[in-house]
Structure 1
Amino acid sequence: MTTIGLKTGLMALALGVGGCGHLPAAPEPTPPATTATVTPLAAAVTQTLDRRVDAVMQVYAPVGLSVAILRGDRLVYERHAGVERLGGATPANGDTLYSVFSMSKLFFLIEMIRAEARGELDFDAPIATYVADLPGAWRGLTVRQLLSHVSGLPEYYSHPDVPPTVAAAFSRVRDADFISEPGSRSRYNQTNFLLAKLALEQVSGRAYADLVANDQFAPLGLDHMRYGGHALAEAGTIVSYRPDAATGDLAPEIYPTYPPYVWSSVGLNTSLSDLAVWAGALVRGDLVPRRTLLDHWQPLPLSNGRPGAYADGWEYSDLGDFITVGHGGGNRVNFMHGFRKSDPSDTVTVIYLDNGGPREIPTRRITTVLADALIPGFASPTQVLFEDLVTDHAAQGWPAALARLDAHIADRSLSPAEAEGLLNTVGYTLSATFGPEAALDAFRLNVARHPRSANPHDSLAETLLTLGDRAGALQHYRHALALNPDDTRVAALVAGLERQASAGDDQT
């Protein structure tokens, strides 16, 4: 696989899916990095950040991780924990190469914005202006709709089965139906970025690999930028881990071959040191003028008038007093840049990278909570609560998590309905982090506290069914249906479980 490697430059310088059994012991966190270019934080803030990173290692047990935080363009916190390789002795560090998956899109988006600023691209022009031989229904989609993932186009990409060529990719979807009406939904889609990349290459007359290498990587001296997947993994250049579906044990990631046509979407591997340099350049306006970035960091409204989830390709969140933009990747890395609405020059940037582990990590929540340590109020109380809850549960079990939850409910005088909804979400969070068995205490308590509400019975039944307890699931689905007779989904589940129970009785 082709790689891009460039000369060293001056470093200028951060809700999950189900867990598995057979968890390895979390590697011991390494001490905070002592990098000369880090601007010191108050000791209390550094201690809070260290505690948060330690909790990530304890709860989610990644093999290795790296975190950087910038205030403005200054690096104020850098931390590494764990190791580069499972069973290895080399600690994770600023030069450790991580796969960043869809975070690769950020570098492409900079090239798109630059092309528009040069007058080569019009984001509101139909894609057919730049890309020929498209299906008729595709031709009127605008570049902005593609970048903002509201096109409704079908998806060509199926990890790890990546088509070898552009022609093979288009053959998968050219005759497929739209998934949704254009403009009606935010729906993440790699076909969008493939079309946008073809447009960029058409107007620039250059391959994307040449653009990004010579216009971003080389000027900033980013020497850890490598594109590729399978070949780099085979050479031992990159490594990533996920739990084996059969055993739950950690196994090396199965990387696809990433041909160059997908590099606008995925395939980049890089280091924390390079990303921190790039983040500083982004904040200073060295890549694109800051005013231009702010103009692009506006979500595209959907046809129902609500804001979409993307702002010209950047993941977008409105946090009240703050806006965040950035991108995650692979359910394990995240780049989050936040700025104050009343003062967009007041910024915080968090870069979180890990090389995999037994549990998927809610990286967007974690990066938001890390930023909250520097700017109290950046994260919502609920986001902070959930990070603390999973930490309590990992260390001391359900009683400690419940004590924190009940204190939160009392402090905020939540109504019974609000408390019920929160407890239900806690159950699903525990299930996502530690597996469905960990959710039973929360769901059973919710049923006990709110026996006349259908939803707690429904959630407990769902979890019992996942764990193979069909009789228990049927009992609580019946309760849910009795409390909400119009729920056709639950009615169908009850009917199906009753048929299974009857068939089982007939066979005995």
Structure 2
Amino acid sequence: MLLDSPSLIYRRCVLHAALGVSFALPVAAQSAATPPAAAPPAAAPPAASAAVQVLNDKVDAYMQAAVRNAHFSGTILIARDGVPLVSRAYGMANYELRAANSTATVYELASVAKQFTAMLIMQLKEQGKLDVSDSICKFINDCPAAWRPVTLRHLLSHTSGVPNYTSLPDWDEQLAHRTYSRTSLLALFRDLPLEFTPGAKYRYSNSGYFLLGIVIERITKRPYGDVLRTNITEPLGMTHTRFNEGRLLVDQRATGYYSLGTSFISATHESPSASLGSAGIQSTTTDLLRWDQALYANQLLTSASLDEMFTPVLDGYGYGWQSGESLGRTRVDHSGSHAGFSTYIVRFLRERLTVIVLSNSDRASGSGTGLNLARIAFGETYIMPTLPLRDRLFDAVIGFGVDATVEQIREIRRDTPTLPLDETLLDVGYDLLEAARLTDAIAILEYNISLHPKSAYSYDGLGDAALAIGDITLARRHFETSLKIDPTNRYAIDALKRLSR
């Protein structure tokens, strides 16, 4: 047992708190563990009623906890019948420049953009320029024979079987960073076999929405962004919404971030040229409320076409929207996550309540935040965000070292031997790899293997650590061990393929 020095007391405070054990922190320790203060939220509407003020107070308390404990940074909006009840911003649009988020901040929508692509397709359908039963081969030059049964409806509903290009081996490591033309991006997946018979299954595919983007450009003979502007954003007055697949400067645009422990880090760069149809649209919460209201008013489509968009095909997915029930109420929604952004829009149709979350923190769940805000608005039970064990342990390793952290985990495990730690320690190990703390990462991953000998992904982490120090032989051995434990482990399979080149 280590002596109860001041540093050990602090270690125990951090680690006991990490494992859900009540333990009072000394004042100095509390100060050291506190993340940077968030930017003050926007003020509540000046004419807010007492009930709306109560809602704002509850939402602000929840969001302040989300900033402290769940890495939230972004803008939120809750509206009923098109009237904003809560419109607030938290954190920084750019942490390095200390530029605060505001209700006018522009965010990448990520996959929330798919509903706009679906809308453009349905507009073309109403104009008689296509039918959703048309084969994609009607619009693609030298179309693969395997795609002939694939219809636009299959692409809209993620039931096409066309492989998702963002799930390709080497996508994160290499392919995501390249600049693409329409032809070169299509070449990544056009010759791959279908994953299943079109219409037989639901499997999310950015490739399908990229193909829909090509269809829009082929029919209109105009760039996607121009069609989006003339058909949707200009008619609705969405002045801060645009498709940006290049390097154009955008006023008040947020920077995307990832997290390590309780600290933000820059997001990995991904080429905007790979976002046609599936992502690439930037917007604000205020503009998205205009979009939401236009859908209620049938300003862009007939009610019959909107019903078709919202009607699920398989697994609750219609055309660019998920449909189903949440909190015992009918809703349509969609989330997005891309390059340091996490976004969400949910519309409770009968209650006319809309919640929009745009976050420039990829670790802050846009959908999780949005549904909890809906719970608050409906007076339902909700849980305040707490600091994840993963982040507490990462901070403890950085502050006090692996040996002290592991010793305290061992102490607490004597009292709670069934405490699940495999996934958490794996995440901490990978976070340490990301922070270039190779020695610490190896120690944590090896400790995890000592507790969970069948942790295949821990061996993957050790393989990545070996690659980082240039030990190819050791890396191969770790990936081979991972594959023996889990023969279906795609990560290990792809890593070994790369090492054999």
Tell me, yes or no, if the aligned pair for 1:241 and 1:250 is still in contact at 8 Å.
no
* Cα distance in 2, alignment partners of residues 290 and 446 from structure 1: 58
What code does the residue aligned with 1:71 have?
R
> Is 1:325 the counterpart of 2:333 in the alignment?
yes
For structure 1, the residue ranges without an aligned partner over 5 or more in a row are 1-21, 302-307, 395-429, 479-488, 495-508
Aligned-pair CA distance for 1:297: 1.0
What code does the residue aligned with 1:201 have?
E
Aligned-pair CA distance for 1:90: 4.2
What code does the residue aligned with 2:281 have?
L
> Is 1:355 the counterpart of 2:360 in the alignment?
yes
Q: From 360, 374, 379, give the equivalent of 1:376.
A: 379
* Cα distance in 2, alignment partners of residues 144 and 476 from structure 1: 45
> Is 1:114 the counterpart of 2:123 in the alignment?
yes
Aligned-pair CA distance for 1:337: 2.5
Q: What number of residue pairs does the alignment pair up?
A: 397
Call closer, same or farther: CA 1:220–1:37 in 2, change over 3 Å: farther
* Cα distance in 1, alignment partners of residues 188 and 35 from structure 2: 43
**TM-score normalised per structure 2:** 0.67
Tell me, yes or no, if the aligned pair for 2:210 and 2:278 is still in contact at 8 Å.
yes
Residue deviations 1:203-261 (CA, integer Å, cap 9, x gap): 3444322221112111222222243366246x88644243488x9964444544434x8
Tell me, yes or no, if the aligned pair for 1:40 and 1:76 is still in contact at 8 Å.
no
What code does the residue aligned with 1:217 have?
T
Call closer, same or farther: CA 1:374–1:172 in 2, change over 3 Å: same
Per the alignment, residue 216 of structure 1 pairs with 232
Q: SS at 2:232's partner residue?
A: helix
Aligned-pair CA distance for 1:491: 12
Matches within 5 A, 1:249-398: 250-259=264-273, 262-301=275-314, 308-319=315-326, 320-330=328-338, 332-339=341-348, 344-356=349-361, 360-377=363-380, 384-385=382-383, 388=384, 390-391=385-386, 394=387
The percentage of counterpart residues that share the same residue type is 20
Per the alignment, residue 54 of structure 2 pairs with 44
Tell me, yes or no, if the aligned pair for 1:332 and 1:353 is still in contact at 8 Å.
yes
Q: From 144, 152, 156, give the equivalent of 1:147.
A: 156
Higher RCO, Cα 8 Å, sep 6+: 1
Tell me, yes or no, if the aligned pair for 1:39 and 1:76 is still in contact at 8 Å.
no
What code does the residue aligned with 2:65 have?
A
Q: From 197, 216, 223, give the equivalent of 1:207.
A: 223
Tell me, yes or no, if the aligned pair for 2:116 and 2:320 is still in contact at 8 Å.
no
Tell me, yes or no, if the aligned pair for 1:97 and 1:270 is still in contact at 8 Å.
yes
Call closer, same or farther: CA 1:227–1:256 in 2, change over 3 Å: farther
Call closer, same or farther: CA 1:191–1:204 in 2, change over 3 Å: same
* Cα distance in 2, alignment partners of residues 297 and 443 from structure 1: 51
* Cα distance in 1, alignment partners of residues 410 and 147 from structure 2: 46
What code does the residue aligned with 2:366 have?
T
* Cα distance in 2, alignment partners of residues 173 and 491 from structure 1: 26
Per the alignment, residue 214 of structure 2 pairs with 198
Per the alignment, residue 60 of structure 1 pairs with 70
Tell me, yes or no, if the aligned pair for 1:30 and 1:81 is still in contact at 8 Å.
yes
CA RMSD between the two structures: 4.0
For structure 2, the residue ranges without an aligned partner over 5 or more in a row are 1-31, 397-404, 430-442, 455-480, 487-501
**TM-score normalised per structure 1:** 0.66
Q: SS at 1:84's partner residue?
A: strand
Tell me, yes or no, if the aligned pair for 1:71 and 1:347 is still in contact at 8 Å.
yes
Q: SS at 2:137's partner residue?
A: helix
* Cα distance in 2, alignment partners of residues 362 and 250 from structure 1: 15
Aligned-pair CA distance for 1:309: 4.5
Q: SS at 2:308's partner residue?
A: helix
Q: From 93, 97, 102, give the equivalent of 1:93.
A: 102
Q: SS at 1:218's partner residue?
A: helix
Tell me, yes or no, if the aligned pair for 2:257 and 2:265 is still in contact at 8 Å.
yes
Tell me, yes or no, if the aligned pair for 1:106 and 1:327 is still in contact at 8 Å.
no
Q: From 160, 170, 177, give the equivalent of 2:193.
A: 177
Residue deviations 1:136-170 (CA, integer Å, cap 9, x gap): 10111111111111222123344633552111112
Call closer, same or farther: CA 1:40–1:84 in 2, change over 3 Å: farther
Q: SS at 2:100's partner residue?
A: coil
